[in-house]
Amino acid sequence: MAARRRSPGPGSAAAHLGESLPLERKLALYRWMRLTRTLEERLVALYRQTKVVGGLFRSLGQEADAVGSCFALEPRDVMSPLIRNMGAMLVKGATPVEILKQYMAKGDSPTRGRELNIHFGDIGPAGTTRGFLGQISPLGDMVPVMAGVAMSFKARGEDRVGLVYVGDGATSTGAFHEGINFAAVQRLPLVVIIENNGYAYSTPTSKQTAAKQFVDKAIGYGVPGEQADGNDVLAVYDVTKRAVDRARAGEGVTLIELMTYRRKGHAEHDNQSYVPPGEIEKWAAENDPIDRYVRVLTEREKVPTATLAEIDASVSAEVDEATEIAERSGTPAPLDALEGVYAEPPRERPLWFREGADVSGLGQERPEGWGTWDASKGGAR
Ligand SMILES: Cc1ncc(C[n+]2csc(CCOP(=O)(O)OP(=O)(O)O)c2C)c(N)n1
Ligand SMILES: [Mg+2]
């Protein structure tokens, strides 16, 4: 039977966790969480100024979950984030400038305005890229994809580990089941993190599964499962590091359930009218991951508050500078939408299927040269 262990909950805050990390690394965890929150607050301001194109997804209250888990990876490892894992992407090397440009759909953003928010990636052979996959919207689908990534590591004998995040809602998909089952059977070096934040859109966890807890699903897959307090950054680091070490040692998949809470709506448009009164306020007051970590650092680690204030100031300056850089960039050229989508040069003439057809009455024929035909030469701009 799979082993199950629980990390201590709020109150027993990290009494035995992350102790081995040097203070410099503990402060780095603080900085990543603060950067995540400050950058998201800036994005909210830009959203309200209509400078963000599309939805804005917050991870308010979940910063420890994203940051602490990704912090357990090595640069050569590969991670697949979700919309609430901006913190993990920052830890893995995504920059605030890239994220701001991406959210604002700038022409020189990572996807040149063709994808929104944090849907962009950087993957390749170890040492050549930062190792995070571009996100896709279909829930759960990245589990089989990451099983494939982990299988490639195993097949090539590479000392690399994959980590995939899924939400509580995503566990209800067939893809989640197929992916984790395959990875478990193949003993692939994969860590699967279920972020239990209480909701999937407006669906509460109680309507998502009949299981008492998501970590119980590990038993059915025959893999170790661990549940941890997702708002305790050192606990998150600890549980993920154990799983990463197991994967690296050839012991296969671990399923982790991180207990956290989504304090904002699904996206900024969601007014959370379905949330019971007082619930959000309670989590904000009693279980904010940054507040809790500040207490750990100042009370247990004896870090002066001035040191944390300096980090906060440097984060604010970094976000200000990144915003200025991102705001200076222009919008994409219209034909950018077609670049990198089709083969270049094209194998077929554009609209070959219309050749010889009488389309005179349609009034929607594109001129010769429309599309990638001329885009790469710049001729059609
Ligand atoms: C297969 C699939 N079904 C439905 C959706 C629509 N959808 C997008 S996000 C979401 C809720 C996700 O909830 P959860 O997995 O708990 O992640 P969270 O937003 O809480 O981080 C839904 C239903 C989708 N993208 N893919
Ligand atoms: Mg959820």
Name all domains of the chain by residue range, CATH numbers in brackets.
4-328 (3.40.50.970), 333-381 (no CATH)
For ion ligand 2, residues whose CB falls within 5 Å: 167-168, 197, 200
Judge if the beta carbon of residue 199 lies within 6 A of ligand 1. yes
**Residue 306 pLDDT greater than 60, yes or no:** yes
Q: Are 180 and 255 in contact (CB under 8 A)?
A: yes
Listed residue (318, 312, 300) closest to 23, CA to CA: 300
* Average pLDDT value over all residues in the chain: 90
CA of 219 to the centre of ligand 2 (A): 21
DSSP 274: T
- pLDDT score, position 349: 72
The two structure tokens encoding residue 356: 């010889």
DSSP 39-79: HHHHHHHHHHTT-S-S-----TT-HHHHHHHHTTS-TTSEE
> Each residue of 330-361: pLDDT tens digit?
999 887 777 777 777 767 776 677 677 776 66
Torsion angle of alpha carbons 280, 323, 292, 302, nearest 10°? -160
**Residue 127 pLDDT greater than 50, yes or no:** yes
> Each residue of 237-262: pLDDT tens digit?
999 999 999 999 999 999 999 999 99
More confidently predicted of 113 and 173: 173
Average pLDDT over residues 162-177: 98
Cα–Cα distance for residue pair 165/258, rounded to 1 Å: 10
CA of 342 to the centre of ligand 1 (A): 29
The two structure tokens encoding residue 134: 């571009």
Which residue has the least CA distance to atom 13 on ligand 1? 200
- pLDDT score, position 10: 43
Q: Which amino acid is at 323?
A: T
Backbone dihedral region for residue 339 (phi beyond 0: left; psi -120 to 50: alpha; all else: beta): beta
Strands 199-200 and 203-204: antiparallel
Ligand having the closest approach to the CA of 59: 1
Q: Which atom of ligand 1 is nearest to the CA of 84?
A: 21
Ligand having the closest approach to the CA of 139: 1
- Whole-model pTM above 0.75? yes
Which residue has the least CA distance to atom 11 on ligand 1? 200
Listed residue (137, 180, 173, 176) closest to 266, CA to CA: 137
Cα–Cα distance for residue pair 92/10, rounded to 1 Å: 27
Listed residue (97, 65, 119) closest to 256, CA to CA: 65
